[in-house]
Structure 1
Amino acid sequence: MMSNETHVQNGVLGTKVIAQIGILVNDIETVSQAYADFFGVEKPKWNWTDTVDKARTEYKGSASVARSKLAFFDMGSLQLELIEPDQHPSTWRDHLNEHGEGPHHIAFIIEGMKEKVSLMESRNMPLVQKGEYTGGRYAYLDTFKDLKIMLELLENDKK
């Protein structure tokens, strides 16, 4: 009996704390301002994601030069990420083209990226895009069939 309870508690990712919600937008300046006004906070500056040489971005198994403008709002325990993709193929661009602006992913901070991605893939939740950022790495998994939104895994380097 004990092993089932443990499994349920820890889940697939080893956490159930949502760290971030990612929202795709066509105009990061306008939407950032709207959120800043709505919450009565300072509008964050946006930054480009790293170039492919640094980010080692892979989309659907191939290297990709795709980049996005990102703006972050820290909302207590949760971070809101606004994403304005460039025109190169990426999960961001394809999703924005197909579905328009709106939610793209929920993100979880995990440990053991390779193992977690393998575990997800064994559950028919394939890796769609991955890359590096200063201090860690990310992976997007196609979880739409079961969870109706994409999951992003974030693994930060140990300090």
Structure 2
Amino acid sequence: MTIASGPITQICWVSDDIEASERLLGEQFGVGEWTRLPDIEFGAETTTLRGEPVRFVVHVSLAYAGDLQLELIQPVEGPTIHAEFLAAHGPGLHHVCFEVEDVEAACAAAQSAGVPVLMRGSMMGGEIEFAYLDGSAGGAPYIELARIGPAMREFYDSLKSASASASSAGVEA
């Protein structure tokens, strides 16, 4: 059984300065409108790091390049694979994301294939479920698996429309 199949729906950079990353991708690469979501808190009741409950806070910014979601994450507080990556490597490309229908089944397939599941969680009452896998065997730091619920899908679609409108109007972020 495969863990997930394409397409990749998101790529993410981890940054220590989310505003500077938005500017770079907007000005130099034409990425349309960014939507910044500051101080998103993940609770220990819904999130684990290497199997242990964790609480953390991150800033997130989202935009689209066509149908591909671009995500920026800036760790603010608490232990995460994002903060670990930033400490070890500095800002940079962090993960690619595949959407899956069943995160539990995808994680079981990953474990069976010898691919470690490093971090898992959910937010918005389960509207998003995610898992980060060790992607180092394939040359990427991490692979994210995500199940997106209907309310979150609607939010993402509205961001994609705003980004497309901004890009077609020649508006820079």
Do the structures match in fold with TM over 0.5?
yes
Q: Is the 8 A contact 2:10 2:97 kept in 1?
A: yes
Partner in structure 1 of residue 3 of structure 2: 12
List alignment gaps of at least 5 residues for structure 1.
1-6
Supply the AA of the counterpart residue of 2:128: G
Q: Is the 8 A contact 1:50 1:133 kept in 2?
A: no
> Which structure's residues are more often strand, by fraction?
2
Q: Does 1:48 align with 2:39?
A: yes
Partner in structure 1 of residue 11 of structure 2: 21
Paired residue secondary structure (2:98): strand
Q: Is the 8 A contact 2:32 2:64 kept in 1?
A: no
Once superposed, which parts of structure 1, at least 4 consecutive aligned residues long, lie more than 6 Å away? Answer: none
Partner in structure 1 of residue 135 of structure 2: 143
List alignment gaps of at least 5 residues for structure 2.
152-173
Partner in structure 2 of residue 91 of structure 1: 81
Residue 47 of structure 1: CA displacement?
2.8
Return the structure number with greater relative CO, CA threshold 8 A, min gap 6. Answer: 2
Partner in structure 1 of residue 123 of structure 2: 133
Q: Is the 8 A contact 2:41 2:56 kept in 1?
A: no
Identity of aligned residues (%): 24
Partner in structure 2 of residue 74 of structure 1: 64
Give the alignment partner of residue 148 of structure 2, picking from 149, 152, 156. 156
Aligned pair count reads 148
Instruction: Name the CA distance, whole Å, in 1 between partners of 2:150 and 2:112.
Output: 27
Q: Is the 8 A contact 1:60 1:128 kept in 2?
A: yes
Output the aligned Cα RMSD: 2.0
Residue 70 of structure 1: CA displacement?
0.4
Deviation per CA, 1:101-133, whole angstroms, max 9, x where unpaired?
Answer: 101100011011111101011111111111112
Q: Is the 8 A contact 1:48 1:68 kept in 2?
A: yes
Partner in structure 1 of residue 163 of structure 2: none
